[in-house]
């Protein structure tokens, strides 16, 4: 496995693979790899000739009151996990390599970026859209893999690829969960053992919603109210938002029909956790 | 020569060329081709195995009070000129092919887009940046050619390609002028014979500035004042802006040093005309 720190080297490596007719699978990450990332890497390994993983803590996707410097890092462990998983290349650029001093170009996706998490993290999805566009141009993958846990991110990235006519496919893989239902996240390291137990409430609330819909409840506001009541029972937990939205345009759906995304962000102690499920109404009859 | 109207077909054609190891030269246009475009096409023809020209009147680069529907069109003549110039492919998509109904992604270049022409055409360079990014992803050229006449556009596009790590080169070719110095532009068709004569004043003003700098004048405001006085002698002419700016960041340079871009926009009757020259101080001593 190679660790490449330089854009030119990375371009050269992917150009070589392409000229050899090899398909490149790509998993962009901010490091601190967990079983969620590894499930993406395994899928990429299974479906492609070459697998590239990027590790880059992208400063432009952190909001004004968020600190990218505090984001968990563990390169040694990440390298070990990637080697074991059969990754060919880790692309690990430093910040100046990606954003030199005169950097000025940004990619943004209107409407999809200002709701849900975007409402509470201004500029976040502009940063995500920009870095992902750059990474796709550098790595030139055939397929890039993202986790359903970051549902809004996945929807925005699919939109960018389609809108900007980028020559790759996006695959979104299921959320990987701990035994108690807590979605795997690099941010889970911020949780104390008690908080980690309480954090299971996010998934329990999502399942409550699914159950209510299955029983015939179509009133989003009522469902959200009941989810909020459940979460508020945990004194460690503070709801940031709970939304039930259209799966395509992320607009709130007061009356549930078709497929909906149920998404939420909850503070558990010092960790802001997110989770979501997709509920298809056709699956919920009877 | 093929005319391709569909994105998928265009992608397929350029993929085939690349797999055959052929270099693709690309000239993006809005049609109504003139000798300026043809100089780019000739250069592309000389330097590449395949030449693609796009003809697309991009609605997102027209401002709120501008009408893309009134932009000059002449596909028959364009096709004739391209055939004669040895173009391999004209990419001629319709608006919905480039911007389907759920289109939402935009590329923008901060700082460089809001000055000079951008100040008077809000959103213009966001539209240019977006469509050019899309066209580059669709056509996947090795080199794309632009004219120096649209100096700000060329600087912004070079910035995008560098910032977003797009795998192509940008070449900027000299402005082609009519006998009286008027820069070639599709918009020149709006000019009456009298106006066309008067329109030579743009280039005369630029040359006045160059002469003043050569004589040792380093005071941008004074030079701009003299250019304005010259242009105002033509009663058909109305200055929109005259600026002397840094060639890299497009910021005004009150005191001239190094290389400067002298750019102006002038209304001549109903036509908004632009022109510019680069003056390198090292060339102007003595």
Question: Which residues of B are annotated as catalytic?
Answer: 37
> Where does the pLDDT of residue A286 fall: very low under 50, low under 70, confident under 90, or very high at 90 and above?
very low
pLDDT given at position A283: 54
Last residue of one domain, picked from the residues A173, A202, A227:
A173
Question: Cβ contact (<8 Å) for B107 and A105?
Answer: yes
Mark whether B192 and B139 lie in a shared domain. Answer: no
Is residue A29 in some structural domain?
yes
Mark whether A40 and A159 lie in a shared domain. Answer: yes
Tell me, yes or no, if A239 comes closer than 8 A to chain B by beta carbon: no
Mark whether A26 and A96 lie in a shared domain. Answer: yes
**Residue A123 is part of a domain; what is its CATH number?**
3.40.50.620
Is residue B237 in some structural domain?
yes
| Tokens read off for A153 | 């991110």
Assess whether pLDDT exceeds 80 at residue B106. Answer: yes
> Where does the pLDDT of residue B74 fall: very low under 50, low under 70, confident under 90, or very high at 90 and above?
very high
Calculate how close chain B gets to A213, using CA atoms only, in Å.
28
H/E element holding B107? strand B105-109
Mark whether A117 and A223 lie in a shared domain. Answer: no
Is residue B179 in some structural domain?
no
pLDDT digits (tens, 9 = 90+) for A214-250: 999 999 999 999 999 999 999 999 999 999 999 999 9
Averaged confidence pLDDT in chain A: 96
Last residue of one domain, picked from the residues B132, B151, B173:
B173
Whether the Cβ atoms of residue A128 and residue A88 lie closer than 8 Å to each other: no
Mark whether B42 and B101 lie in a shared domain. Answer: yes
Is residue B181 in some structural domain?
no
Mark whether B46 and B137 lie in a shared domain. Answer: yes
Mark whether A69 and A17 lie in a shared domain. Answer: yes
Q: DSSP letter at B260?
A: E
Mark whether B163 and B198 lie in a shared domain. Answer: no
Mark whether A21 and A161 lie in a shared domain. Answer: yes
Mark whether A154 and A260 lie in a shared domain. Answer: no
> Where does the pLDDT of residue B286 fall: very low under 50, low under 70, confident under 90, or very high at 90 and above?
very low
Is residue A286 in some structural domain?
no
In sequence order, what DSSP letters do the residues of B41-83 get, joined into one string? HHHHHHH-SEEEEEE---GGGS-TT--GGGS---HHHHHHHHH
pLDDT digits (tens, 9 = 90+) for B19-50: 899 999 999 999 999 999 999 999 999 999 99
Tell me, yes or no, if A134 comes closer than 8 A to chain B by beta carbon: yes
Last residue of one domain, picked from the residues A173, A204, A223:
A173
Is residue A137 in some structural domain?
yes
ipTM over 0.90? The verdict is: yes
pLDDT digits (tens, 9 = 90+) for A141-156: 999 999 999 999 999 9
Contacts with B111 from chain A: Cβ below 8 Å: 104
Mark whether A119 and A57 lie in a shared domain. Answer: yes
Question: Cβ contact (<8 Å) for A107 and B105?
Answer: yes
Is residue A97 in some structural domain?
yes
Instruction: Domain of residue A210: give its range.
Output: 186-280
Asked if A37 is an active-site residue, the reply is yes
Domain count for chain A: 2
Of B21, B23, B284, nearest in space to B140 by CA: B23
Q: Tell how strand A2-4 and strand A24-29 pair up.
A: unpaired
C-alpha A89/C-alpha A52 separation (Å) is 5
pLDDT given at position B65: 82
Is residue A179 in some structural domain?
no
Q: Tell how strand A50-55 and strand A89-91 pair up.
A: parallel
Mark whether B196 and B143 lie in a shared domain. Answer: no
Contacts with A103 from chain B: Cβ below 8 Å: 163
Tell me, yes or no, if B134 comes closer than 8 A to chain A by beta carbon: yes
């Amino acid at each position: 496995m190679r660790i490449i720190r330089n854009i030119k080297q990375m371009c050269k490596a992917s150009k070589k693979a392409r000229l050899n007719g090899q398909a490149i699978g790509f998993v962009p990450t901010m490091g601190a790899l967990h079983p969620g990332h590894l499930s993406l890497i395994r899928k990429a390994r299974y479906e492609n000739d070459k697998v590239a993983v990027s590790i880059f803590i992208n400063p432009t996707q952190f909001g004004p009151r968020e600190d990218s410097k505090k984001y968990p890092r563990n390169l040694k462990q990440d390298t070990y996990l990637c080697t074991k998983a059969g990754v060919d290349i880790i692309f690990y650029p430093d910040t100046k390599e990606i954003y030199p001093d005169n950097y000025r170009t940004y990619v943004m996706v209107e409407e999809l970026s200002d709701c849900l998490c975007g409402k509470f993290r201004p500029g976040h999805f502009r940063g995500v859209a920009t870095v992902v566009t750059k990474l796709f141009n550098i790595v030139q993958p055939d397929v890039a893999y993202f986790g359903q846990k970051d549902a809004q991110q996945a929807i925005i990235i699919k939109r960018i690829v389609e809108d900007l006519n980028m020559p790759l496919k996006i695959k979104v893989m299921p959320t990987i969960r701990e035994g108690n239902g807590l979605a795997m996240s690099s941010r889970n390291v911020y949780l104390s053992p008690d908080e980690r137990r309480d954090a299971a409430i996010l998934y329990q609330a999502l399942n409550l919603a699914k159950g209510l819909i299955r029983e015939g409840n179509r009133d989003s506001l009522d469902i959200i109210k009941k989810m909020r009541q459940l979460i508020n029972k945990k004194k460690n937990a503070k709801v940031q938002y709970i939304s039930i939205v259209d799966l395509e345009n992320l607009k709130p759906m007061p009356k549930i029909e078709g497929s909906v995304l149920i998404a939420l962000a909850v503070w558990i102690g010092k960790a802001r956790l997110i989770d979501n499920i997709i509920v298809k109404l056709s699956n919920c009859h009877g």
